[in-house]
Amino acid sequence: MRSTSRFSALLAAGLLACVSNAFTRNPRWTIGMSQCNLGEPWRVQMNADIKKSAEAYPELRVIFKDAQNDNLRQCAHVEEFARQKVNLIIISPKEAAPLAKPVADAFRSGIPVIVLDRRVMGNDYTCFIGADNKKIGRAAGKWIANQLKGKGNIVELKGLMTSTPGQDRNSGFREGIAGSGVSVIFEADMKWLEPNARIEMESALARFPNITLVYAHNDPGAHGAYLAARAAGREKQITFVGIDGLPQEGQMYVRQGVLSASFEYPTGGREAIAVALDILNGKKVQKEIVLPSRVFTYENVGKGGEWLKE
């Protein structure tokens, strides 16, 4: 065959494949995925995990919506999904109180709802999937008290305290350090955001000449604090600990020596699709699915971290 005709034959075959694909790919179910924001790498990863898992099932189509960190916009997205009568909703909500009503309304109208990572108030949803933030906070507290041998001044940079992971990472941590002798000398709500963490840390640095360690409720927060300390020439005197432990973020900071530890907070994206399929196929699912978590340190990050016990 001459090369031009071989090329046209290939082109025709390719076109045919595309066309037949478009006709045969006829998803049976539509899932609406409401993401509270895509500002942090962790949420981009969650969506990527959902997309990748869903792609293995031709019967699924997922529509993604990004609320850009705005409760009202996220409420509108959930209401829109309910009006469209999607077959199932996955939501990773911004805050527990404002999102409770649209989630409850969708659930009561007969649409199954999977709540991922942050919780909503009440019980009107099908299934909650997430790691145990209280346990992670407690493990971080114990790890820190142990590292500091029960002595040191801590800055706690908290996640949004109207979201449940922020509340649990705070209360768990306080339990973990209780009775150890380390003390929290400065605390602030950085609302999960790196630029806020940097600003709060600048205030802490200005007020306190002796800061031993920063415990931030997520890795962007810990990194923001590190940048503030580095700008003040004090990063070498301070230890930084964060939560999330993504390979491309927390684990990388640990390898670089920027963070001393990062506690894993799995996105749950893969599990959400598995549970969604069970629900759509009429199987009964548990109301609450707790995901395991690891701690990554310089010593163990190359070996896959260490699972949290308890």
Tell me which residues touch ligand FRU (CB under 6 A): 40, 42-43, 117-118, 159, 163, 165, 192, 218, 243-244, 265
Nearer to ligand FRU, 141 or 152 (CB): 141
In the complex, minimum distance from the CB of residue 218 to ligand FRU, in angstroms, rounded to a whole number: 3
Long-range CB contacts (< 8 A, 24+ apart) of 123-127?
Answer: 124/100, 126/279, 126/285, 126/287, 127/275, 127/279, 127/285, 127/286, 127/287, 127/288, 127/289
In the complex, minimum distance from the CB of residue 165 to ligand FRU, in angstroms, rounded to a whole number: 4
Nearer to ligand FRU, 139 or 148 (CB): 139
Which residue is associated with the tokens 């869903």?
A: 54
In the complex, minimum distance from the CB of residue 300 to ligand FRU, in angstroms, rounded to a whole number: 20
In the complex, minimum distance from the CB of residue 94 to ligand FRU, in angstroms, rounded to a whole number: 9
In the complex, minimum distance from the CB of residue 243 to ligand FRU, in angstroms, rounded to a whole number: 6
Burial of residue 301 (CB within 10 Å: 0-12, 13-18, 19+) is: buried
Nearer to ligand FRU, 187 or 278 (CB): 187
* b/e code 90-99 from CB counts within 10 Å (16+ = b): bbbbbbbebb
Q: What's the distance, CA 5 to chain centroid?
A: 52
Nearer to ligand FRU, 212 or 218 (CB): 218
At a CB cut-off of 8 Å and minimum separation 6, what does 18 contact?
none
DSSP secondary structure of 177-198: HTTSS-EEEEEEE-TT-HHHHH
- 122: tokens are 């009440």
In the complex, minimum distance from the CB of residue 254 to ligand FRU, in angstroms, rounded to a whole number: 15
Nearer to ligand FRU, 40 or 200 (CB): 40
Nearer to ligand FRU, 152 or 245 (CB): 245
In the complex, minimum distance from the CB of residue 93 to ligand FRU, in angstroms, rounded to a whole number: 9
One-letter amino acid at 257 equals G
Which stretch of DSSP H or E encloses residue 207?
Answer: helix 194-207
- 179: tokens are 């009775």
Q: CB–CB of 112/132 below 8 Å?
A: no
Helix, strand, coil percentages in the chain from 3-state DSSP, rounded to 5 = 45, 20, 35
Q: If DSSP states are collapsed to H, E and C, what string results for 2-37?
A: CHHHHHHHHHHHHHHHHHHHHHHCCCCEEEEEEECC
In the complex, minimum distance from the CB of residue 69 to ligand FRU, in angstroms, rounded to a whole number: 8
